[in-house]
Structure 1
Amino acid sequence: MNINLDAYDAIVVGSGPNGFAAAILLQQQGLQTLLIEGADTVGGGMRTKEVTLPGFKHDICSAIHPMALASPFLSTLPLTEHGLQFVFAPNEVAHPLDTEDAVILHRDLDQTALALGKDSMTYSALFEPFVNQWEDLSRAVLGPLRIPRNALLMAKFGLKALPSAAMIAKSFQTTEAKALWAGLCAHGIQPLENLTTAAIGMMLGTVGHRFGWPIAVGGSQALADALASYFMAIGGEIQTDYWVDDIKQLPNHKVLLLDMTPKQVLSVKGLALRTGYRNQLKAYRQGLGVFKMDWALSEPIPFRNPEVMQSSTVHLGGTYEEIALAEYQTAQGRIPDAPYVLLSQQSLFDSTRAPAGKHTAWAYCHVPHGSTVDCTEIIENQIERFAPGFKDIIMAKHSFNTQQMESYNPNYVGGDINGGVMDLAQLYTRPSFSLTPYRTSNENVYMASSSTPPGGGVHGMCGFHAARIALEDHFKIKITL
C-alpha cells in the first residue's frame, strides 16, 4: 500500500496502547504526527476477532483493562466521546479452590479483607495506603527511575514491591489469602521466588480496589478504535497495512518513535544505531511465553462456586504452592501438568460478544519461551477441575502457541506478551542502562514499546514517556503529569 509522502514532525510505528499514547501526546502538542501499523487494523494487543464461529467475538490478547483506567495519561482522554464503554462484573477477580470455596477480590477493599479471616488486617495493611494515594503513586511507578514527588510513599511501596511474592506470602496465614496473592503476582510471568515479583501483585491489587477490572464493550478492539478516533479528531493521521523494515520507506520526519521490541528495532534498516547500543539490545532478555485459547460455548462455564461466574477475571491454579510450582517448572523449560491459567468470560457481562444464549471464554497459560507444545488439554483439564462439565459445552475452539502469537504480533517475541522479562535487572533498565531508556543512540529515534519502563500492560505509559522525552529534546516542550 502506498503511503502519504508528505513531511511530518513525528512518525510513530506500531499502534498498540504505547504507540497510540505516544502519537496522541505528540499531536496534542501541535506536532503533525503519522501513526503507522503493519497489520490491517490498529490495536496491537487490543484486537478482537471471530476466531471460532461467526458471531463470537474473541479478544486476541488483552481482555481486561484495569490499567487503562488507572493510567495517568489514558484516563485523561475523552474516549467515551469516541465510542468506548466499559462494563464491570460484580466481582473483579475470583480464585476458586478445590473445595466449593472461592476467594474473591471485590472493588471494596474492606469487603475483600473481611472474608480473609485471620489475614484481614494483613491484607488491608498491604494495599490500603496505595489504594488511597494511587494518583501520587502512579506517577512514580509508571515510568522511568527518577526521584518521586512523594518519596515517602514510593519508599513504602518499594518495601512491599521489591521483595519476591514468596516473601510477602509468608505474612499470610490462610490458604485463601495466599492463593489470592499468588494469582495476582503470577501475572508477572516468572517464578514467584524472584525479587520484584511482589510488584505486579501490588499493582494489580491496588488498581482493582481503586478502579476495578473493567471489560470493554464490544471487545478490546473498541479501546483501540476509540484511541484511533480521538487521534484523528485532533488531526493525526493513520496508515495501516504498511510494514516498516527500512526507514527509507518513511516520509520525511523530525523524530521517529518505535513501538517495537529490541528484536524488531534491530531488524529495521537505516536506523544508524551505534554498535554499543545495538549490543545492549542484542543482550536484552525476553521472558516466558503464553499459550492462548478461545472457546465458543453453548452456555456459561459451570463453576462449582456461582460467585466465580460473576467475576471479571478468574485465576485457576489452586493453592499458592501449586501456582508457585507451576511457574517455577515453566521457567525451567517444562510444561506443568496443572498450569496457572488466567480466564475470562466477557460474554457474561457484554452481550455483544456472542449470539443470544451463547458465550465466549478466553484463557491462557504460561509456557517456556518459544514453545510449540499444544497446551489445549492441560488448560481444559484445569478449567474442568473447578467447573465439571466444561468440556461438554464447547462448541468450537481456537488456540495460539508462542510462535503463532509472534507471527500475529511481532512484539510478542517467543510468545512474550510483556515485551521482555520484568525481573530486577530489567524492571527499569529496559532495554538499556540509562535513566532515559526511551532514547536510542540515534538522537532522532526513540523506543516507545513495553520493552521500556514501566513494561507490559494496557496503560500507554511507555509511549507517553517516550513522546515526553522527544518533545523536550527536539521541540523544547516540557510535559509533566
Structure 2
Amino acid sequence: MDRRDVDAVVVGSGPNGLAAAITLQQAGASVLLLEAKDTIGGGLRSKALTLPGFVHDVCSAIHPLAVESPFFKTLPLAEHGLRYVFPPLSAAHPFDNGRAAVLEKSVEATARRLGADAGAYDRLLAPIVKDWPRLAPELLAPLHIPDHPLAMAKFGLQALPSAVTLANRHFRTAEARGLWAGMAAHALQPLTNLTTSAIGLVLMAVGHVKGWPVPVGGSGSIADALASYFLSLGGKIETGVYIDHISQLPSARAVLLDLTPRQLLQLAGHRFSSLYKWQLGRYRYGMGVFKIDWALDGPIPFTAPECRLAGTVHLGNTLEEIARSEHITSQGGHPEHPFVLLAQQSLFDTGRAPAGRHTAWAYCHVPNGSEADMTAAIERQVERFAPGFRDLILARHVMNTAQMQAYNPNYIGGDINGGIIDIGQLFTRPALRLSPYRTSAKGIYICSSSTPPGGGVHGMCGFHAAKRALKDLF
C-alpha cells in the first residue's frame, strides 16, 4: 500500500489512538497510525528503568478501566497475547494505627471491614454495582440522552457532589472516610470540587465488578495486543515519525489526533475558526505528577498485612490529611505529607523482577509544571506505613513534570489526565461543540483524553472519535 493511499491517519499510539485506528480499520477504512517515539503505547509502555531484570511501567500501572472498557471487551486481545493477573485485594488504605481499609471484590466483604459504616457503604455502592452493565457505556461516552435515564439519574445524584460532601453525608468512621478519599483523589483536583465523587464511585464499582488487574509483563503488553490486533486487520504503523505540522501528513479523508489542545493548535491552528482556536486556547490543564520507580531487595514491609495483598496502596492516612494535601497542591504548594498512589506489580506478576526481588511504582500530585524533587517526601510516606522500606531500595528512577511531558507530550506540565476534569470541563472538553471530537476544520478530529470521557486506559475517547469520523466522512 502506498503511504499516501489511506483513508485515515491517526497521530499518536496511546490507548485512544490505537482504539481509533482499530475502529476505523474494522469499518473497512485503510488506516495509517503514526507514532513519534520508537515504540508505541503513549502511557502504555514498560522499560528497565533501574537495574537489569527489573521491568517498570513508565506511566500507567493498574488497569481497572481497561478490563471493563466497553470497547476493549469486544476485542480478541487475549488472542494477541494480553493476560491479566488480579491481586487478592484491589486496593488497600493504611492508617497510622497499623490498620487498613481495603477494596475487596464484593461490596459485602468491603463493607464488613468498615464497622459502623458497613450499612452506609453497602447502600451507596450496591446499587451502582448492580447498575454497572447499564452505566458503563453511558459514563464512558460524550454527553448524550442516556439509554438508561433512571440508572444515570441515580448515579448522578451521588456523583455530582464533592468527595468531601459525599463523605460527610455517608461516612463516620476514619476507615471508610480514608478509603473513600484515596479513591476520589484519583481525580487530581481538590476533594472539595464538584464531581470529584464520580471518579471514586467508578473506581470502587469497577473493583467490585471485576477488580483492579495487573497486565502480565507490563502495561506495554496492552498496547502490544492492541497493535497486534490492528495489524491483523490490515492496518499500518510507523514509529519514529514526529509530526509538528499537519502538512507533513499524507493525504487522507480523515485525520485523528491523539493530542491535547495545545498540540492541536500547534499542528493545525491555521485551519481552525477563530472561535475554536479561542476555546482551545482557554483549555485548562490540571495538577502534574512526580513519579518514582524502585528496584527493591524484597517486598515492601507494610505494617498492615492487608497492604501486602493489594496491587494498589493509597498512602495518605485520613480524609482530612488527603484533602489538605490536594488543596495545598492545587494552590501551587508542595505538601510535607503528599497523597501517594503506590503499585506493587511484582508481588503478583513475578516476571517483573529477579527472584526474591521486587519493583514498586508510585507518584504524588504536584502543581502543574513543578520542578520540585518529591523523592524524600514520597519515601517518607512509604516508610511511615512500612518501616524498613528505605533499607530495601537498590535503585530508583524519578520523573518530574518536565520529564513526564518529555516522555509523553500529552502530559502537559505533568498532567496525566489530558486536562482537568472539573465541572467546567466535564462536558466541554476540549470545547463546547455538538460533537467534542470534531474540530472546526473538516476532516480533522481530536481523539485524546482531552475529549470525553477523559483520562484512563479505556480507549473510549478514540472509539467515539472514530465513530464520529465514520459517520461524517465514510
Q: Deviations over 1:18-39 (max 9, x none)?
A: 1011100000000001111111
Contact 1:168 1:198 survives alignment (8 Å): yes
Amino acid across the alignment from 1:394: I
Distance 1:41 1:271, change over 3 A: farther
Mapping of residues 297-316 of structure 1, within 5 Å:
297-316=296-315
**Equivalents in 2 of 1:89, 1:14: separation in Å?**
31
Q: What's the secondary structure of 1:362's corresponding residue?
A: strand
**Equivalents in 2 of 1:427, 1:458: separation in Å?**
18
Which residue of structure 2 lines up, in the alignment, with residue 117 of structure 1?
115
Mapping of residues 55-204 of structure 1, within 5 Å:
55-170=53-168, 171-204=170-203
Mapping of residues 345-364 of structure 1, within 5 Å:
345-364=344-363
Q: What's the secondary structure of 1:158's corresponding residue?
A: helix
Q: What's the secondary structure of 2:237's corresponding residue?
A: strand
Is 1:33 equivalent to 2:31 in the alignment?
Answer: yes
Which runs of 4 or more aligned residues in structure 1 lie more than 3 Å from their structure 2 counterparts after TM superposition?
none
Amino acid across the alignment from 1:204: L
In the TM superposition, residue 130 of structure 1 has moved relative to its aligned partner by 1.7
Q: What's the secondary structure of 1:411's corresponding residue?
A: coil
Contact 2:346 2:358 survives alignment (8 Å): yes
Identity among equivalent pairs (%): 59
Distance 1:270 1:413, change over 3 A: closer
Amino acid across the alignment from 2:118: S
Contact 2:163 2:184 survives alignment (8 Å): yes
Amino acid across the alignment from 2:452: P
Q: Which residues of structure 1 form unaligned runs of 5+? A: 476-481
Amino acid across the alignment from 2:33: L
In the TM superposition, residue 4 of structure 1 has moved relative to its aligned partner by 5.7
Amino acid across the alignment from 2:110: T
Contact 1:166 1:192 survives alignment (8 Å): yes
**Equivalents in 1 of 2:251, 2:432: separation in Å?**
30
In the TM superposition, residue 53 of structure 1 has moved relative to its aligned partner by 0.6
In the TM superposition, residue 269 of structure 1 has moved relative to its aligned partner by 4.6
- Measured on the aligned residues, the alpha-carbon RMSD in Å equals 1.0
Which residue of structure 2 lines up, in the alignment, with residue 51 of structure 1?
49
In the TM superposition, residue 12 of structure 1 has moved relative to its aligned partner by 0.6
Amino acid across the alignment from 1:137: L
Question: What TM-score, normalized to structure 2?
Answer: 0.99
**Equivalents in 2 of 1:382, 1:182: separation in Å?**
16
**Equivalents in 1 of 2:426, 2:178: separation in Å?**
25
Which residue of structure 2 lines up, in the alignment, with residue 255 of structure 1?
254
Distance 1:125 1:271, change over 3 A: farther
Amino acid across the alignment from 2:146: P
**Equivalents in 1 of 2:45, 2:179: separation in Å?**
28
Which residue of structure 2 lines up, in the alignment, with residue 432 of structure 1?
431
**Equivalents in 1 of 2:396, 2:67: separation in Å?**
31
Contact 2:4 2:252 survives alignment (8 Å): no
Q: Deviations over 1:63-83 (max 9, x none)?
A: 000001111101111100000
Contact 1:20 1:227 survives alignment (8 Å): yes
Contact 1:323 1:340 survives alignment (8 Å): yes
Distance 1:270 1:191, change over 3 A: closer
Which residue of structure 2 lines up, in the alignment, with residue 232 of structure 1?
231
Q: What's the secondary structure of 1:374's corresponding residue?
A: coil
In the TM superposition, residue 271 of structure 1 has moved relative to its aligned partner by 5.7
Q: What's the secondary structure of 2:424's corresponding residue?
A: helix
In the TM superposition, residue 114 of structure 1 has moved relative to its aligned partner by 1.2
Contact 2:269 2:277 survives alignment (8 Å): no
Amino acid across the alignment from 1:61: C
Which residue of structure 2 lines up, in the alignment, with residue 414 of structure 1?
413
Contact 1:45 1:409 survives alignment (8 Å): yes
